Amino acid sequence: MARDSLAELHTEPFTAEREWTVEDIPVLTASVAVPRPVPAADRVSRRIYRYYQLQCRSYLRYCERWLLPQAEAAYREALASSAPLPCLRAELRYQVTYSQGGLWSLYTQSRETAVSGPALLTRRGDTWDLNGGYPVELSAFFQPRSGWKKTLLSLAADEIQRQERAGVSRYHEGWRRALRRRFNAQNYYLTAEGLVFFFPMYAIAPAAEGIPIFTLPYGTKSLRLPEEQEKETEAV
């Protein structure tokens, strides 16, 4: 094992809150919780710490630059029409989904409430190789030339058809084409059950479906187990 590599990572939430006002009236609040390695005494932990600190700062900048003008416009519109004054809310949270075998996986998800309509959810998946301290690409979990993208899209298509036949979910009419066009290899994370990949809200289904997720179980043909990925990393 390389120097400063980790077998597992321990974290605690790092939190931050901001409030923006217009004419001393709160119009937008933001809260953030991102992982903070404890202790951050090695190279890998410090790299991961800096990564999520940057994500925290970037999200708060996004709130100020993009959401605040919308919040101010909603405030002034409500003021002009004598309607209740709105206060928009934004939050960023995380969920660790896998932590063993030298791999650490999680997703971060933001939620933005609007004056009207459903809340907007945005998810991002991260999987870290704790031996080297770098993110792992989705393709690394599959055998070379295995056609892994086709495997994932076929699984998603089968699951969508099953859900629609059962009447438990509803997708856009053009979901087959959207699956191919909106697939992003960065949108994945690991769980104890398998490799989870997902699509953005609205990409293939109405807002009521939230963020569509699909799971490829371990042991599926061409999918390498996380433990196998670790062994190959150590052998390099």
Quick: pLDDT tens for 79-119: 999 999 999 999 999 999 999 889 999 999 999 987 777 89
- Say yes or no: 155 and 75 in one domain: no
For residues 10 and 110, membership in a common domain is answered with yes
CATH number of the CATH domain containing 219: 3.90.640.20
Average the pLDDT over 20-40 and give the result.
Answer: 96
Distance CA 50, CA 117 (A): 35
Q: Residue 2: give its domain's CATH number.
A: 3.30.565.40
Instruction: Please tell me the total count of domains within the chain.
Output: 2
Amino acid code (one letter) for 134: Y
Residue 180: exposure state from Cβ atoms within 10 A (0-12, 13-18, ≥19): exposed
**Domain check: are 233 and 189 in the same one?**
yes
pLDDT band at residue 2 using 50, 70 and 90 as cut-offs: very low
Residues 128 and 188 in one domain: no
| The domain boundary residue, chosen from 117, 136, 155 | 136
Split at pLDDT 50, 70, 90, the class of 231 is low
101 and 165 fall within a common domain: no
Query: pLDDT tens-digit profile of 145-196?
Result: 889 999 999 999 999 999 999 999 999 999 999 999 999 999 999 999 999 9
Please indicate, yes or no, whether residues 141 and 191 belong to a single structural domain of this protein: yes
Domain end among 136, 165, 196: 136
Joined tokens for residue 134: 């770098």
User: 223: pLDDT confidence band, cut at 50, 70 and 90?
Assistant: confident
How large is the average pLDDT for residues 23-40? 95
pLDDT category, 220, cuts 50, 70, 90?
confident
Structural domain ending residue among the three candidates 90, 120, 136:
136
* 130 and 142 share one domain: no
| Residues 6 or more apart whose Cβ sits within 8 Å of residue 47 | 133
* Token pair for 79: 């003021």
Which tokens belong to 230?
């670790």
Both 150 and 122 in one domain: the answer is: no
Full residue range of the structural domain in which residue 216 is found: 137-236
Strands 88-100 and 25-37, how do they pair? parallel
Per DSSP, which regions of the chain are E strands?
A: 11-22, 25-37, 88-100, 103-112, 120-129, 134-135, 188-190, 194-198, 213-217
The answer on pLDDT for 236 being more than 50 is no
